Structure 1
Amino acid sequence: MADLFAWLLSFFLLIAILGILLYQLMCLADLEFDYINPYDSASRINKSVLPEFVVQGTLCFLHLVTGHWVMFLFCLPYSYYNFRLYNQKRHLVDVTEIFNQLPWEKKLRIFKLAYLVVLLCLSIFWMIWSIVDD
């Protein structure tokens, strides 16, 4: 039963990260179509970056503690990338350069989204596997 609870928690954490990334993509799309000014878009994205990093770190730590080594290894590159961005102080979007970086920022977040969808599918698979195994 504890294993199922861990997979459910993992599922909800992944949904939270996906929601944060979709919010960031919507802010970038609004900026691209000129529905929002650069300052508001950058401040909204910057407010959601650290919660994304914390939730991803929590997810990686959850898999480490519960002994789901395969999922931990799948989560590790994403967590390392976030850690590297934070240490290099490149995790925040610059207001003055947001239009120049818009295509790159969108591609980066779409890649993260695809990676997290794969993790979500794997998490659902392992959750169903643990239900059937019990």
Structure 2
Amino acid sequence: MADNRKKYWINTVRLLVDVLVWIVLCLMLGLWGAKYLLAGAPLLLTIEAWIGSDEPMHFTLGFLLPLGIGWLMRLYRRQRRYQIGFFVLVALLYAVDETMQSLLPFRSATWSDFQMSMTGWSLAVLVWYCLWQLLFLPTRQR
């Protein structure tokens, strides 16, 4: 009976985290879309003015995007090499994004934006592997 109750709470927490991750990813997608749509520019400029610059947004995106997508893909159930491949792919996509921005007439790519994205990415990798070792690694392997 206690085992069923434990599974119930684990599934409930997993569902709540899934919903929270989806909400955060949708908000980030909305902000990202506002960057490229001229109609959304005033909203984005207001947010950037409130935060101070776009660098904290790059850091936040660099941190939350790989963690959120990795969680929703249930990447923690995969072997370590797949997890490493996923995080490397995300880093490459950040580089491609900054390169694409340099090709658009109304956007500009800066080295500091890429550095902030990669700083967030590095923290996400660190958090992912620390949590993975604490929560998902069997006790006999610790």
| Smaller-chain TM-score bracket | 0.3 to 0.5
Structure with larger Rg: 2
- Larger relative contact order (CA 8 Å, sep ≥ 6): 1
TM-score by length of 1: 0.41
